[in-house]
Amino acid sequence: MEVSFNDVKYTYPGGVEALKGITFNVPTGQSLAIVGQNGAGKTTLVRHLNGIFQPTSGTVTVGDWTTAGHTIAELSARVGYVFQNPDEQLFARKVFDDVAFGPRNLKFDEEAVASAVTEALEETGLTKEAQSHPHHLSLSERKRVALAAVLAMKTPVVVLDEPTTGQDHNGVRMIASIVKKLREANRTVIAITHDMDFCAENFERVIVMAQGEVLADSSPENVFNLPEVLAKARVEAPQLERLASSLGWKSHPMNVDAFVDNLEAKSR
């Protein structure tokens, strides 16, 4: 499902201008990463997608809906949103019930609920914890429960707010493979992240934000080759891009294989 922002401005009730006219369009099945320092307006922006925020001016559309005409509950059938802090999201006494909450609200029949929950728990590596109390799990596990809870809703658009923070290496790998699966299923994925290596390796498009504005919007290769933009947004390029540019390369390897391919080309 396609989503778009059309000259979206948002001013907080206190008068702080968080978004200063944002326009972009994400086609069906695209994976988009939004980067920028804390306070750049990233979370405010994506919270417009499911109606938690309504624009002060401009419009946000999700498929053929304008968010202004729909409640958060209605939009939840189209946009799944994983909160950054799982403790703001989880509430049930059992992991299974928490993950089942969304599908049940969306009126899946019990059989469909069970299969959606089982699948989501498997994808997030939590099958063993189905009967555990969410509060007895570690932060990284709770974050994955929150992710599973949204995956189980099978929404055409999935929004992830800093999915990799608090995850160890295995957790990050698991999330990378979930992003890949969502893309293969032609679902639209929008993620906020501070992990530029994760971003470079798993997303086809990157938006750089600073002070409520979009500074750059392109492929990771292009975006991470804009030193002035990155400096202004206080964003660091991914590790291998930094290395390639320190070595004076003109190419922009976004992952280990691409980097080593370059080495091979150069040693020939």
Partner 1 sequence: MIKLSDVSYAYPDTDHYTLTNVDLDVPQGEVVGIVGASGAGKTTLAKIISGFIPHVDGGALSGRIEVDGINLPESTLAIAVSHVGLVIQSPFNQISGAKFTVREELAFGLENQGVEREEMATRVGEVAKLLGIETLLDRSPYALSGGQQQLVAIASMIIMRTPVLVMDEPTSQLDPGGTRMVFDVMSKLRDSGITLVVFEHKVELLREHASTVHVIADHQIVASGPARKVLSDPRLEKWAIGTTRYTRAAALAEEKSLLPKSTELPVSLEDSIDVFKGFKNLKKG
Partner 2 sequence: MPTSLFDNRKSVIHRLNPVTKLVALLAIIVIVFAIPVWWVSAIVLVVVIVPAAVISGSGGRLLSLSLKILIPILLVLFIVQGLTFPGGETILWRWGVLKLTTEGLLFALGVGSRIIVLILASILLVLTTHPGQLMSALSEHGMSPKFAYIISSTLQLIPAFSDRANSILLAQQARGLSLKGSPFRRIKVMLPLLSPLVLGMFTDVEERSTAMEARAFGSPAKRTSLIPVPDTTLQRVLRWVFVALALGAIATPILMGIL
What distance in Å separates the CA atoms of residue 103 and residue 76, rounded to the nearest whole number? 10
Please identify which residue in 6, 165, 211, 218 interacts with partner 1, judged by CB under 8 A.
165
Phi and psi based region of residue 248 (left: phi greater than 0; alpha: psi -120 to 50; beta: remaining):
left
Which residue type, as a one-letter code, is found at position 207?
I
In this complex, which beta carbon is closest to partner 2, that of residue 62 or of residue 196?
Answer: 62
Does residue 257 touch partner 1 according to CB under 8 A? yes
Which sign, positive or negative, has the C-alpha torsion 80, 84, 88, 93?
positive
Give the largest CA-CA distance in the chain. 61
Binding mask 136-155 for partner 1 (x = CB under 8 A): --xxxx--------------
7 binds, among partner 1, partner 2, none (CB under 5 to 8 A by kind): none
Output the smallest distance, CB 3 to partner 2, in A. 15
Phi and psi based region of residue 41 (left: phi greater than 0; alpha: psi -120 to 50; beta: remaining):
left
Q: Which of these ranges, 49-57, 65-73, 134-142, 212-220, lies near partner 1 under the rule CB under 8 A?
A: 134-142
Inter-residue contact 67 to 60 (CB < 8 Å): yes
- Scan residues 189-218 and list those touching partner 1 (CB under 8 A): 194, 196-197
- Scan residues 34-63 and list those touching partner 1 (CB under 8 A): 37-39
Output the smallest distance, CB 171 to partner 1, in A. 7
In sequence order, what DSSP letters do the residues of 64-83 get, joined into one string?
A: TEEGGGS-HHHHTTTEEEE-
Written as six digits, the tokens of 19 are: 């978004």
Point out which residues bind partner 1 (CB under 8 A): 37-39, 85, 138-141, 165-172, 194, 196-197, 234-236, 238-240, 242-243, 246-251, 255-257, 259-260, 262-267
